[in-house]
Amino acid sequence: MATHDDAGDVHARPPGATGGVQSVSRALELLDLMAGAGTDVSLSELAEGTGMAAATTHRLMRTLLAHGYVRQLPSRRYGLGPALIRLGEQAGLHLGAAARPHLDDLAAQAGETVNLAMLDQDMVVYVAQAASRHSMRMFTEVGRRVHAHSTGVGKAVLAELPDAAVLRLLERAGMPPATEHTITGPEEFLTELGTIRSRGFAIDDGEQEVGVRCVAMAVPEAPTPTAVSVSGPAARLDLAGLEALLPALRRTAGVLAELYATEGP
Q: What is the pLDDT of residues 81-110, one digit of tens each?
A: 888 767 766 666 666 677 888 999 999 999
- In the chain, where does the domain assigned CATH 3.30.450.40 lie? 85-263
Beta strands in 49-165, from DSSP E residues, in sequence order: 70-72, 78-80, 113-120, 123-130, 145-147
At residue 36, the 3 state secondary structure works out as helix
Alpha carbons 43 and 62: distance in angstroms, whole number: 11
The answer to whether residue 15 scores a pLDDT higher than 50 is no
- In the chain, where does the domain assigned CATH 1.10.10.10 lie? 3-81
Question: Edge to edge, what strands does the sheet with 202-205 contain?
Answer: 145-147, 123-130, 113-120, 226-233, 212-218, 202-205
For the domain bounded by 3-81, which CATH number is listed? 1.10.10.10
Which tens digits make up the pLDDT trace of 27-74?
988 988 887 776 789 999 999 999 999 999 999 999 999 988 899 999
Residue-level pLDDT at 63: 92
Residue-level pLDDT at 265: 44
Q: Which of 175, 186, 187, 121 is nearest to 151 (CA)?
A: 175
| Amino acid making up residue 54 | A
**Candidate CATH numbers 2.70.98.20, 3.30.70.360, 3.30.450.40, 3.40.50.720; the one for domain 85-263:** 3.30.450.40
Which tens digits make up the pLDDT trace of 22-34?
888 899 889 888 8
